[in-house]
């Protein structure tokens, strides 16, 4: 099996786990020990252990994955791209829906670099009381 087909098969298996809400299990199975992950233009997090801790911290606040929909995906060589709609209900009762794109670079059959692109939620406007 050539590299592009291997990447395509692994990316499809990873996406299948994400669609089923198995985020941490997918991370353990498909991510490289030296993975670099980045959200938008935020500082990247380096290393599987560090990223797993970050992911566990985030998902520890999630009550339920209400939706995890793969909208589209593509693979070219060792790069895969995917578009997602994810809706989460948090333990505090709030919900958050994000439409995002993910870019993955694969090495040795594992995700070595992943970057997410999405619109960050708007910050609440400062309230100004008029007298």
What are the tens digits of pLDDT across the range 77-89?
A: 999 999 999 999 9
Q: Which residues contact 1 (CB under 8 A, 6 or more apart)?
A: 9
pLDDT for position 5: 77
**In the structure, what pLDDT confidence band is assigned to residue 9 with cuts at 50, 70 and 90?**
very high
pLDDT reading at 39 higher than 50: yes
């Amino acid at each position: 099996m050539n590299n592009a087909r291997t990447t395509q098969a692994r990316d499809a298996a990873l996406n299948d786990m994400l669609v089923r809400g198995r985020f941490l299990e997918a991370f353990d199975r498909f991510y490289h020990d030296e993975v670099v992950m980045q959200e938008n233009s935020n500082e990247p997090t380096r290393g599987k252990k560090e990223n797993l801790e970050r992911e566990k911290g985030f998902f520890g606040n999630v009550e339920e994955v209400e939706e995890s929909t793969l909208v589209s995906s593509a693979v070219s060589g060792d790069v895969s791209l995917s578009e997602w709609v994810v809706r989460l209900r948090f333990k505090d009762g709030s919900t958050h829906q994000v439409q995002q794109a993910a870019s993955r670079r694969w090495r040795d059959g594992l995700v070595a670099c992943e970057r997410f692109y999405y619109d960050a939620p708007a910050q609440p406007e400062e309230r100004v009381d008029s007298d």
